[in-house]
A and B are shown apart, each in its own frame.
Chain A
Amino acid sequence: MANQSIPDTPLFDRNGSIRGYRINKMAMSLGQAANREAFKADEEAYLDRFGLTEEEKKAVMSRDWHEMVRLGGNLFFILKISAIDPTPITRIGAAQAGMSHEDFLYHRLGKRAAHG
């Protein structure tokens, strides 16, 4: 399957998998409690352990979800970074759509406004 055949819809293909390997491997490791503690204690040192480039480190440390995905981060892995903060998945979605969180919830997802 060719990537980018559907507009604004990146598929996680071999290129993404290869490009994002370091970020995704680091994120995968956060499925273990001890690793989460190490990440929280010294985030940059933790990222260095996985050999992240400066560009990748900056994306992770600034929680730039759009950039992490551009660098090959796959949502299912990087969600484990969001679990530490924690950042709701809808905020990650809004960041990628380039919308405010409110606009994303009500206009993109079609969420109905809460009563009262």
Chain B
Amino acid sequence: MAKIIGGLGTSHVPSIGVALDKGLCDTPDWKPFFDGYEAGKEWVREAKPDIAVVVFNDHGNTFFLDRVPTFAVGVADSYNPADEGWGPRAIPPFEGATEFAWHFVDKLVERHFDPLVCREIEVDHGMQVPMELFFGRPEKWPVKVVPIWVNTIQYPIPTPQRCWDMGKVLREAIESWPTDERVVILGTGGLSHQLQGARAGFINQDADRAWLDGIAANPEHYRNMTREDYVEQFGSEGAELIMWLVMRAAMNEKVDLVHKHYYAPASMTGAGMVVLENAA
């Protein structure tokens, strides 16, 4: 059967993509941020995943407000980067893990989830940036992908518990997939940031640092928090962190926090990363 080889958590701030495109990675603003990801990249090189499941939200690039899926799953052969207003970025398209994605959709519906199933769709920085942070800028991505979109833009957004439940189904899908493929799961978004309202620019470094340890050691705490708690502690857009729960719930109850990194501010965001491995 396929195997979960690790869980990665990371911010997906669009300015990270801009910094990569403009060659700003070694500037004083960005160097400490990118340096902290080297350990994560090295882990991925050694771990050699075949499939990356990426949990992220669209940012008004692929889904408009005319139709807002709470959860969507990609079953496409290929995903092109979306034009977010700056023109298309020069990164390769992502090859879809089509067969496994359909199997995951089957499992979801069996377990009473009702995802939107997408065969032709682009992916925005929510998926691009995490892939670049962990896989660099290859000419061709070394993994196939399964995008999972979570609505974190228009309320009502899903509850933390629901994201957790989806992670459990994801695990079941991976463990019942009859190949020897190695699967890594990326939970993305956050950490604390707020882009709208007079509290714009809100960053909560203490809560962010606690999150990076707590998501590994005490995820129940974050599963039990309300959406209001997330907005209060992490800012209105920082509530994206609920998406890490999909990744975390798919892992064992006990995990090893192999790497972590935190840097603030990355643009307007507290930015962080974890690498988790299943413990016995």
What is the interface of chain A, defined by CB distance below 8 A to chain B?
Answer: 1, 3, 5-14, 17, 21, 24-25, 27-28, 30-33, 36, 69, 74-77, 79-80, 82-84, 86, 89-90, 92-94, 96-99, 104, 108-111, 114-115
Contact = CB atoms under 8 A, between A and B. Distances in A.
A99 B198 CA distance: 9
B59 A76 contact: yes
Interface in B39-75: 59-61, 64-65
B159 to A, nearest CB: 10
B214 interface: no
6 contacts: A13-B154, A74-B153, A74-B196, A89-B195, A109-B203, A115-B28
A90 B65 CA distance: 25
Contacts, number: 127
B83 interface: yes
Given A28-B60, A31-B61, A96-B200, 20 more contacts: A1-B155, A1-B227, A9-B196, A9-B197, A12-B155, A13-B154, A13-B156, A14-B155, A25-B64, A27-B60, A28-B64, A74-B60, A74-B196, A80-B60, A82-B85, A90-B201, A90-B267, A93-B268, A94-B201, A115-B28
A10 B197 contact: yes
A94 B195 CA distance: 10
B201 A69 contact: no
A96 B155 contact: no
A89 B231 contact: no
A8 B199 contact: yes
Contacts of B197: 8-10, 69, 96
Contact of B83 (A33, A77, A92, A108): A33
B198 A8 contact: yes
A14 B155 CA distance: 7
Interface size class of B (residues with CB under 8 A): 35 or more
A24 B202 CA distance: 24
> Interface majority SS on B: helix, strand, loop or mixed?
loop
Contact of A12 (B82, B154, B198, B227): B154
Nearest to B64: A28
B85 A31 contact: yes
Contacts of B59: 76, 79
A18 B267 CA distance: 29
B95 interface: no
B128 interface: no
A44 B51 CA distance: 47
Given A17-B65, A24-B65, A89-B267, A69 B84 contact: no
B153 A98 contact: no
B232 interface: yes
Interface string B4-17: 00000000000100
